[in-house]
Structures are given as structure tokens and as C-alpha cells.
Structure 1
Amino acid sequence: MDVRGEILELKVTINTMVDQLSSFADEVTRVAREVGSEGRLGGQAEVPGVAGTWRDLTDSVNFMAGNLTSQVRNIAQVTTAVARGDLSQKITVDARGEILELKSTINTMVDQLSSFADEVTRVAREVGTDGRLGGQAQVSGVAGTWRDLTDSVNSMAGNLTDQVRSIAQVATAVARGDLSQKITVTAHGEILELKSTINTMVDQLSSFADEVTRVAREVGTEGRLGGQADVKGVSGTWKDLTESVNVMADNLTAQVRSIAEVTTAVAKGDLTQKIRVDARGEILALKETINTMVDQLSAFADEVTRVAREVGTEGRLGGQARVPNVAGTWKDLTDNVNSMANNLTGQVRNIAQVTTAVAQGDLTRKIDVDARGEILELKTTINTMVDQLSSFAAEVTRVAREVGSEGRLGGQAEVEGVSGTWKRLTENVNELPATSPGRSAPSPR
């Protein structure tokens, strides 16, 4: 429409206003779309040539967009930090109304999460690092999921405490030699596997202990050799230990039986056997001692037999038993045998010396060696015989001198205490003077 003058000015003014309003509307719509629909913060409305209220409106829209950008970006920054595990940040941007409520809510959430994290960390450190069981997370003012999480952590810590304490109780009992306890606490998963493993271990240890005790009792107390430990289902070190106990029992059985065999043979007088079983340590020392004893007994027996044969069978006096390296009773026995042989040699030689002298007409000798028992009786008998022979010889000599040299007839030999041949000889001597020359013999009939 063609206009002029003031109407034209009004037309231009209105058209300019429409253009500015249109531009303002486009900018506000764009900023609203970017911020509200597309989520692109930081946008600003740019309306050139406006002034007054339109300028204020544009500034207000831009101020609102700027505040919203700052608030949302601060909220995003804090929530992003929370999502990344950083609970040190808080929303610090100025806010009012619902944004302030959101700020307070998020900041409270951060505080609760921080408290929750601190408590969970504390409980985890106490239980997992410090080994202090029984700790519980204390998070004030939480509800919902956070309360559930806190309860779950505490339940986990409580269960773990019960399980570990039960395991520790049983392990301590095992360490103290008490194999009567088992883990009875409820468990799942790997803890259940550990529970089963430890309980199985306790059963195997109990079985192992029972078997070792049985074998030890049979061998060490009851003297029943040959026992073997039988522990079912063991492997590794426990199997090695069981086999070691059985090897020990086998070795001990073989060693003791070999020792018993040899000592029984010695007791029965058989000195031909020796201990030949492998041995070490004190058993080896015992083996060597017994074998040495057998050697010494054999040497002792050989020497005693030799001396007995020489003296008793061959009549060779003066023999001595030579048993090297003996001591104690065996030395005493050897010395006693030698003393016996010496005494017997001395006695027999003294007896032989006297009887030889008698046989040679020497009645001046007597047996003067010390003697006891039957040897003393023999000594007394021979000495008495020598006395009687001496008395007989003296009387015969006297009678012979009186009759043959002095011519004194009628003498009689008087020999006290003689009998047997000596008595008859005495009587025969006494009859001689009666038949001597000068006397008539009885006329034969």
C-alpha cells in the first residue's frame, strides 16, 4: 500500500518492528531448541539493532541460557566425576528454585556416596588388609539402594567374619593337635570349596593320626611288629608321610626281628648268626654292639672250649683263655676261667709233684697248694697217705734194724690207722721175725 508522510514513517517503523520481532523470535526459538531439545549449551540469542525492551528481553534470554549452561555444566561436571569415582567435587554454581534443590540433592548424594565409600573402604581395609574382622559400615541418613548397598556390605563382612573365624578356629585347633573340630558355618562358592577342603583335610589328618597312633601303639607299646598305616584318599605330603611311617615301621620290624633272631640264637647257644639288616644311627650302633658281643661270645666260647679240652681231655695244664677287647662280665668270666685253670693247674701239678715223689720213694713232700671241696679232700687223702706211708716205712725200717742189725727179735711194726694193702703189708712184716733163723718153723703137716 502506497503511503506517504507520517503514515510512511509508521509503516517503516512497524515493518522494522516486525522484522526485529521475527529475528528475536527466531533467535529465542533457536536458543530454546539448542538448549532444550538438542542439549547444546552455551548458545546466545543474537538480535541486531534492537533496543529498549527488546534488548532487555534478548539479554534476559541470554542470561537465562548462560545461567542454565553454567548450572547444567557444573552438575554434569560433578555427576561425571561421581561416575568416574571422584567424590571430591561438589556443585558450587549459584542456583535457585528446583535447580537449587537439584544442586542440594546431588551434593547430598555426593556426601552420602563419599561416606559410603569411606566406610566400605574402611571395612575392606580392616578385613582385607589389617585382618580385623567384625567391622561394619556406618552410613548415616542413607535410604533405598544406598541403604541396601550398606546392608549388603555389612552382610558380606559379617558372613566373611563368621566364615574366617570358623576357619581360623578349626585351623588353630588343628595346629594344637585337636582334630575333633570341623567348619560348620554356612558358606557358598569358593568359601564353600575352602570349607570342604579344610574339613576333608581334618578328616585325613584325623585318619592319618589314628593310623600312626595305631602303628606306634602296636610297635612301641604292644610289641606287635609288621603293622602298616592305611590312610585312604591322601596324596602329596600326606601320602609321603604315610609312606614314610610305613617305611619306618618296615625298617624297624626288619631290624628288631633280625636283632631278636640273633639274640634268640645266642640264648640257645648258637653263636654263628649275625645281624645283617641295614641300619643307621642308634640301631646301627646296637647292631654293631650285638655283632661285637656275638664275636666276643664266640671267641670266649672258643677259648673256654680250648682250655677245657687242653686241661680236661688232653691233660695239658697251664692253658689260658685269650679273649681280646672284652670288658665287664665277659672279662670277669674270662678271668674266672683262667683263674680256675690256674688253680687247677697249680693243684694238679702239686699233686703230681707229691705223688711222683712218693713213687720215687720220697715221703718228705706234702701237697701244700690251696684247695677246696673235692680237691681239698684229695689233698687231705694224699697227704694222709704220705703220712701213713712215711709211718709204715719208719716202722718197717725200725723192725728191720732191730732184727737184722741189732739182733733184737720180737719187734712188731705199729702203723696206726692203716687198712687194706697197707694193713696187710704191716701184718706181713710183723710175721717175718717169727720165721727168721734161730726159730723153728711150724712143722708141715
Structure 2
Amino acid sequence: MTPGPRRPRPSGRRTAPRDRRGAPRPAAPPDPLVGRTVEVEVGPIAHGGHCVARHEGRVVFVRHALPGELVRVLVTEGRAKDSFLRGDAVEVLRASPHRVTPPCPYAGPAATTPGCGGCDLQHVALPHQRELKAAVVREQLQRLAGLEVDVVVEALPGTPEHERGLRWRTRVELAVDAAGRAGLRAHRSHDVVPLDDCLIADERVVATGALSTVWTGCTGVDVVAADEPEAAVEVPLPVDGPVPSVVQHVAVDGPEGEWEESFLVSARGFWQVHPAAAPTFLAHVLSELDPQPGERALDLYAGVGLFAAALADAVGVTGAVLAVEGDAVAVEDATANLEDRPQVEVRGGDVARELSAMVDQGVVADVVVLDPPRTGAGRDVVDALVRLGARRVVYVACDPAALARDTSYLLERGWRLSHLRAVDAFPMTHHVECLATFEPAAG
């Protein structure tokens, strides 16, 4: 049978192209947005070192900008279907009064500078950096925990260079590129930006020559400036052989006079990077917990035993301190640091699992300090923590979002936030340390 004529398509109507089986062919991908420049009015600071702006109804997370500025933003991440974009402020059309010239030539947008990702806020006057960080802490606690808090971010004491936000970082993890050059990674990238200097690094770190050394066969190098030895220690990565240890001294004023101790720390282990951070945090924890002779104290995420040592001396031989730490090297260091305090037990293992086991065993505590990693403690730890019967808990937090989330868990379980302190332990970056005190709401 001879086929009849094809039916004409309705006028003005276009159909999508189809493949041989009649299925619609996928549309061609839209033009990429990355590399385009858009003009935006910059909104508030957000957690993570960027500000929030909008362009054509879409959120743009902008680095190297300040609230209230009018800037041209180079889009660095984002596609047409994405709900938000990321970008760098490459031209300032209306500047904030808090804008300054970054002291470091490596800091800034990758389009106009080497684009080191180590610092987020070098373009902001240091006092205003702290105001922005306080705004982030307030926003996170309001959004995630429903709390309205009035908090300021304090400066830590130190040298004149520290007071300028420079030369404070005593531990630096350098990346190494394919040519063996050491530096820091670009923002949200594995690319290495080779450096001649890092202005936030302790001068002893730079004096090692790590930044000018060709690190053949290495993926990175850790450089640590401690109290002992006098010179900074270099640890090439991957590690070939034993990792050296360093010594950190801590002295604080306590109710019974000055308390001081020295701590053995693996060069690849955890210790606060600002030289004034450890004594400041320890003094605050002791003041807030007010441990008494004979009490039972718990130190979670105990590291090398900083808090546990001071708590042990406060509760005395009639009291008890249990220190829990998940990192095997830190457990080894803590055991050595606390061996002369028989009232201390050091347990190695996952904190959530160990804490749950303690609750099942009927373990109780009068006071608790926890200093979790950036991810925070989490629901399981909080669930077990509130069952210990403690009269007070101090939470040392390096991430305000994780703190706010865990605060919400504590509030749900009948606890209250009784005191909040924020400290600028990481000048020139978006990071901020918070020390939060919690108590049973009925207490």
C-alpha cells in the first residue's frame, strides 16, 4: 500500500529533535557560566570565608568582598542549573571603609594574584575581621539552635606581629607540587601555589628554608615551631621512619597560684597553632568547670592530655580523671604526659563508642570538657554525654556550625547554654574558636 502524504505540522510549533527510536535527544549543554563577570551588591558574611550576594535571583558566594560593597565578580564555579554560584571579587566599584590592602602578595583572587587559599580575610581590617566572625557565630547559633546570643570575638595576647594578625601560626602543613616546590593550595583546589614566605607563619617556620627547598618525591611537608627544640622541625610526607616529637610548655594562673606543665607532642599530632591559644583555653576551662578535690572529671577528645593534666591536679588523688582520645599517636603521648598522675586513666578509641560503653557501665562525671575536631561531637556523643550526670560541661569548638548543631541537641535534652566566649585564634582566616559552657536547665 502506498503511504499517503504526511500530515503537516501545526503552524508555529517546533518539536524537539528525536533519535532513530523516536526518543527525544538531549538538549545541548548550556554555555558555562565559569569565567563570566557579573556585578553584584554584596550582602552579609557567611560561614566559610565568603559573603552572600545575588545575581538574577541566584545566590552568589563571593570571596574577597565585604558586606555593603559593589563589586564585579568572576564566576569560578557554577552551571546554569545550579542554585548558587561561587566567585571572586576581581574589581571593587564601591569599597567598604573596612577594606585594606592585603599584607601578603599571595592573598587575593586567583585572577589578579597567585591565589593562595590559606587566608580568607586579609583584605579586611583586623578589628572588623573579628566583628564578621562574631556575626557568623551569632547567625549559626540562631539558625541551627534557635538562640539569640550577644558575643564578641576577642584577640589573643602576643607579640606586636601577633597583634597585627601575622607570624602566629606555629604549625604549617605545606603541600608540594610536581616540581617539588612547597606552598599552600589554592581555594577549593588541589593546585599548589608555591610561596617564598607565609606572613601568618611563625618566623621559625620560614627560617627552616622549607619554602625554598626542592622536595623530591614528597607530597607535602609539615613544619612545626614548638617551645623545644628551639628550631622548627620539618617532617617530609609521606613519612619515612619515626616522626620526631616536640615539647610545648603551658603556664596559667589558677586559684592556687600559677600552674605549669610541659607536654610531649608528636610533630604530626594536634596542638593549638596560636602560641597563646592553649594557655587561654586551659585557663577558661578551669575557671568555668571549677573542679573540686575528689570530683570526677572527663576529658573527651583529650589529645595529648592538656586539660586532663590540669583537671587531675585540681581534683587531686581523691578524685579521678578519664581522658578519651581516638588518635593512637596522641594516646601514646597522653599516656606519657600523664603517667605521674595516678588518678588519670587514658583510654584510646572512638569517643562515641567509648562514651556509650561508659554510660552502659554506670560511669558518672561531675565535670566534662570536650574539644572535638571540626566536624563536632555529633548526636551520639551528646546523647551519651547528658546521661553522665555532670553539673557542667565546657565545649571547645573550632567550627561554629558544628557547635550550633550540637548546641541544638543539648537544648533538646534539657540543657542550656550558660556562657559563650569566642576567641580569634586564627587571624586573617575565617576560622574562630568558641568556648561554650552548658549546664542542666533544671540545675
Tell me the TM-score range normalised by the shorter chain. under 0.3
Could you tell me the TM-score, scaled by structure 1's length? 0.14
Structure number, greater radius of gyration = 1
Larger proportion of strand: 2
Could you tell me the TM-score, scaled by structure 2's length? 0.14
Higher RCO (CA < 8 A, seq sep 6+): 2
